[in-house]
Amino acid sequence: MNQIDRDPLLLTPGPLTTSLRTKQAMLHDWGSWDAAFNRITGEVCRQLVAIAHGEASHVCVPLQGSGTFSVEAALGTLVPKGGKVLVPNNGAYCARILKILGYLGRQAVELPFAEDCPADPSAIEAALAADPAITHVAQVHCETGTGILNPLAEIAAAVARQGRELIVDAMSSFAALDIDLRSTPITALVAASGKCLEGVPGMGFVIVRRSALEAAAGNCHSLAMDLHDQWQYMQKTTQWRFTPPTHVVVALHEALAQYTEEGGLAARGGRYAANCRALVKGMRSLGLEPFLDPAVQGPIIVTFHAPASPAYDFKTFYAKVRDKGFILYPGKLTQVETFRVGCIGALDTHDVAKVVHAVGATLREMGVSITAAVHG
């Protein structure tokens, strides 16, 4: 495990705890038009495409801003103004896609699922068969509102059978869960620097099929969000169109070096899966039950039922756990009170054990009984 400093450990789905090497990469200034910086951008883009095995068909377009910026850029660039998007919705980030489409003036069809149920490929295929006007499907891979994992390969196959295009929000899964563009028909894959790559936030990217990007000229609602224009300019000049997040890019370059040293996707995903198992086991020992069934739980973030005790208050709980050196995440569910604990970042099972200890100590300090905390 890479050395970390004494900042509080972030048990969130991003920003997340980064290694000391990644932090140190940001100690230098870079010229945005400098050839050395442009080489780094090019290397980062090539490495990102390679993680998804898309070298033969896809290109990477980086974009300033958070991951949501790149989700909006992908939708705005790839979906024509007369397009129509099916959005399987089983959580907060699926709902955000619907909101973005509303802002963009693109037609959207919501296909709702329960928050504890994965999106159903057969239902998606039926919806596409019933409405030939739908041109695209926008699917969240790992819905971090709960931590649920949607069956991406099966969904992609269903969309392809119906001859439609698939845009995937892989924000919380890319580089930890295998997505192989050679065998999985995906038009665009969207992720960001501050997630499973263990960089810092500030750069999103879209790994997009070259032919789809070439056909997208003139679609976009926004100059800043136009992935086609960004890509064309980078192809001609190797430079970003507008001031790039230089420190974020070089930090990601360093984080990618560490990703390779760790053993790539198998090792990174394996560490997160081990963190998840240790977290669930430890929290259950305190009487805290996960919201999701284990069969659909992704290894990225776990939603736990809040303790059913009048002594429990999330803000107090959060502050006390933070005082012990750990930052948790509030719940995203509307019907059930929950909180979330991330499994990603420069953390291992020893760190998870410390988190569990801090949570247990905090519940005792608050007078929350263990029996009151149990949910079936």
Average pLDDT over residues 284-290: 96
SS3 label, residue 93 = helix
Residue 334 has what pLDDT?
Answer: 66
Q: Per residue in 340-376, pLDDT tens? A: 999 999 999 999 999 999 999 999 999 998 654 444 4
Helix axes 349-366, 314-323, angle to 10 degrees: 130
Residue type, 179: I
Average pLDDT over residues 109-136: 98
- Reported for 352-355, long-range contacts at CB under 8 A and 24+ positions apart, including other chains, are 352/275, 352/278, 352/279, 352/282, 353/278, 353/282, 354/9, 354/325, 354/326, 355/9, 355/11, 355/279, 355/282, 355/326
- Determine contact, residues 47/267, Cβ cutoff 8 Å: no
Q: Per residue in 94-113, pLDDT tens? A: 999 999 999 999 999 999 99
Q: Tokens 């070259």 sit at which residue?
A: 210
- Determine contact, residues 58/185, Cβ cutoff 8 Å: no
Residue 376 has what pLDDT?
Answer: 40
Model confidence at 336, in pLDDT bands (50, 70, 90)? confident
Q: Is the pLDDT of residue 79 over 90?
A: yes
Q: Is the pLDDT of residue 20 over 50?
A: yes
Kind of pairing between the strands at 107-112 and 329-330: unpaired
Burial class (CB in 10 A: 0-12, 13-18, 19+), 30: middle
Average confidence score pLDDT of the chain: 95
Q: Is the pLDDT of residue 1 over 60?
A: no
Average pLDDT over residues 165-179: 98
Residue ranges of domains in the chain, CATH in brackets:
22-260 (3.40.640.10), 264-373 (3.90.1150.10)
Contacts of 6 (CB under 8 A, 6+ apart): none
Q: What is the DSSP code (8-state) at residue 306?
A: P
Model confidence at 331, in pLDDT bands (50, 70, 90)? confident
Average pLDDT over residues 189-209: 98
Model confidence at 14, in pLDDT bands (50, 70, 90)? confident
Q: Per residue in 257-274, pLDDT tens? A: 999 999 999 999 999 999
Report which of 112, 167, 118 is spatially closest to residue 142, judged by C-alpha positions: 118
State the SS3 of 263-293: CHHHHHHHHHHHHHHHHHHHHHHCCCCECCC
Q: Is the pLDDT of residue 188 over 60?
A: yes
Report which of 176, 239, 275 is spatially closest to residue 30, judged by C-alpha positions: 239
Average pLDDT over residues 201-230: 98
- Specify whether the backbone of 30 is left (phi greater than 0), alpha (psi in -120 to 50) or beta: beta
Q: Per residue in 50-62, pLDDT tens? A: 999 999 999 999 9
Model confidence at 223, in pLDDT bands (50, 70, 90)? very high
Residue 333 has what pLDDT?
Answer: 76
Residue 76 has what pLDDT?
Answer: 98
Q: What is the pTM of this model?
A: 0.95
Model confidence at 339, in pLDDT bands (50, 70, 90)? very high
Among the residues of 55-120, which ranges form H helices?
67-78, 92-104
- Determine contact, residues 224/70, Cβ cutoff 8 Å: no
Cβ atoms < 10 Å from Cβ of 45: 19
